[in-house]
Every structure is written in C-alpha cells, then in structure tokens.
Amino acid sequence: MILDRLLSHDRPGHPALAVALVLIVLALAAAPFLFPGAKAFSVAAKLLVFILLVASFDLLLGYTGIVSFAHTMFFGIGAYGIGIASARLGAGWEAVGVGLVAALAVSLVLSLVIGLFSLRVKAIFYAMITLAVAAAFQTLASQLSDFTGGEDGITFRGPEVLRPSFEFTFAGLELDGRIVTYYLLFAAVAVLFLVLLRIVNSPFGRVLLAIRENDFRAEAIGYRTVVYRTLSNVISALFATLAGALLALWLRYVGPDTTLSFEIMLDILLIVVIGGMGTMYGAVIGSALFVLAQNYLQDLLKLGHGALEGVPVLSVLVSADRWLLWLGLLFVLSVYYFPTGVVGRLRLMRVMREKRERERAAAAQGSAG
C-alpha cells in the first residue's frame, strides 16, 4: 500500500493508536475551519511545531539513548536565523532562505563539534556539557541586544503572502496569510515527520537502536559508535532548527523565552516520556496531550469551579489558579500507569494479546491432535 510505504512500513501497531493518529491528523488538517478563534488556531500551529521538535529529540533520546539538554539551542538557532535575516534583509523569501541556510549551517557546525568532543563522554557528563552549552547560548542571545534584540527579541515581517493582511479567495472561501502560513507549517511538518520515520526504520536507524541497547556490543561487532552517535546528534539538531524556523514564521517574532527557555526543554522531555520513547508516533500523541492540557486545562477548571462554587474544599481544589497542580498530577499519573508511554503501552498490549492467541491456538491444536 502507498500509505504503508509512506510510513516506512512502521504501522501504529494498535487499532486505538491508529484511530487516535488519524483523528489528530484530520483535526490539524482542518483546524482553520473546524476550530475558529485565534487561540485554537495558535494551539494547532504550536502543536505542529512541537510534533516536529519532539520527534527530532526522540531520534536522539529514544532511538540513540543520548540525553541532551542543548536541543532548544538548535531550536532557537532556527528561529533567530529567520528573525535576524528578515529584520536586516527585509521581508521576503530571499531573507527567509538566507536565514534558514545560515541557521542550518550554524547548527551543523555546533552539533558536529559537540558530538565529536562530547559524545565520548558517557551518560550524565554529556548531559551536563550540553546543559552548559545551552545556558551559555541563551545568555549570549540575551546580552547581544544589537544583534539578537536581547530580552525583547526581534519582531519582523515575513513574506507578503504569509502576512495576516494578505487576503484572497479560494474555492469561494475568504482566506488570509495566516491560513497560508498554517498550511505551510502543516505541509512542512508532515514531510519532515515522514523523513524522520524513514530514518529510524532504515539500516542506520537499526544501528542506532543497537547502540542504545548495548553500545559496547555494537562497537564489538564493527560499528563505529561515535560516528553514528555524532550523526544522530547532527540530524536531530538540523530537524530542531527547521522546527524553530517554522515557529518564527508563524509568530513573526523570536526571543529567548519563545525558543531558548529551559522550560521548553522540560516540556520536550515530558512529551517524549508521555508519548513513549523510541516511537515517532509518541511525539504526535504526547504533543497532542501536552499542548491541549497546557492550553485548555485552565478553562476546564474554570467551568468546574463555577459548577462547584460554594462546595467547601472542592471549589478551592478546582480553582483555575491551581491548573499547574492538576497538570503535574496528570503527568505523574500518566508516567505511573504508562511507564513506557502511551504508544509503548498500547503496542505492548497488542503483542501480549497476540501471544495469548497463539498460545490458545497451539493448545487447541495440541488437544485436537
């Protein structure tokens, strides 16, 4: 099947997961028309960016077993590349192209240097090195105000077709530049996600899994693990850079808080754990759960508070001001009940059910014989 080949023969593995993925894709594809309102539109765009960002990080953590805290640095490089080029060269596709190429080149060099010099360091030591590099980069972005805009960031104008003021009619519908930008994000994320899916299901991806499981054994059978780990680091960084560029095009703004914040790095880690490490589909499921909870949990609590107003204790607990408490509780429960993530748990259930069916079939065949 064409769809099976597009997915690199990596099927969801569980009917419930397949249904959830189809619903998410359809909802995102029709978001501008299904969910009117600026907030819903922005949430859908943020979800698209996070799917790509988390999938790129999962290539590093879930498939290669590398813990890095520098992922948001590459995310920020992509956003700043677009922002700085558009602010200095003018609004146009030429500036976007120059900024994107420059950002990818910077990310390539930095990820290669970090990989070559740091990936020989094991576990927590490598994580601390990447944390230090990311913190230093965030400090530079905040202090080089003449170049990066400092704490205020950079507000810029994108190509005319991507501006909200750009209006046109298509198939009888009145559309504008925001919708064009959204579908640019949708198409780019869809293509890049399929590329990542192809990478992890290629021989290269299988070597990464071997390194994750036992890097000493992979080295012993002839694979140069440092080379593969470095390549994984570079590929992951480049995809994170592309995610940052897409976010900048959507926001038409870039600043330290939008791309370089350590809170974003924590969000990425949470999403990977919730969705399931080592499963690209986990990036989709985890991002959807996290982004929706982050943006709409407070609204749900407001409704609950209104319904329970006057009830002692309960009305206080469901106050909208305590949405972070409930968000944290939801994540703790999800990790407790889904230690391998939502996707990992569903796939395990499918495997166990098939195993029981085979055992019953074998027992029935034995008794019949």
Q: Which residue has the higher pLDDT, 205 or 173?
A: 205
Beta-bridge partners for 170? 173
Q: Is the pTM of this model over 0.85?
A: yes
The pLDDT, as a whole number, for residue 122 is 66
- Residue ranges of domains in the chain: 2-368
Side-chain half-sphere of 190: how many Cα atoms within 13 Å? 14
What's the CA gap between 15 and 19, in Å, rounded?
6
Mean pLDDT of the chain: 87
How does pLDDT run across 210-236, given as a tens digit for each residue?
A: 988 888 888 888 888 888 988 999 999
Residue 326 has pLDDT above 70, yes or no: yes
Instruction: Among 51-55, 139-143, 170-174, name the one with the lowest average pLDDT.
Output: 170-174
How does pLDDT run across 257-297, given as a tens digit for each residue?
A: 899 988 999 999 999 989 989 889 999 999 999 999 888 88
Token pair 């978001």 is at which residue?
31
HEC readout, 233-287: HHHHHHHHHHHHHHHHHHHCEECHHHHCCHHHHHHHHHHHHHHCCCCHHHHHHHH
What's the CA gap between 237 and 56, in Å, rounded?
7
Query: Which DSSP string corresponds to 283-327?
Result: HHHHHHHHHHHHHHHHHHHHHHHHHTTT-TTHHHHT-GGGHHHHH
The mean pLDDT of 250-254, rounded to a whole number, is 93
Q: What are phi and psi of 203, to 5 degrees?
A: -55, -35
The pLDDT, as a whole number, for residue 48 is 96
**Residue 114 banded pLDDT, cuts 50, 70, 90:** confident
Q: What are phi and psi of 201, to 5 degrees?
A: -100, 10
Residue 15 has pLDDT above 90, yes or no: no
The pLDDT, as a whole number, for residue 78 is 96
The pLDDT, as a whole number, for residue 169 is 79
What CATH number was assigned to the domain covering residues 2-368? Answer: 1.10.3470
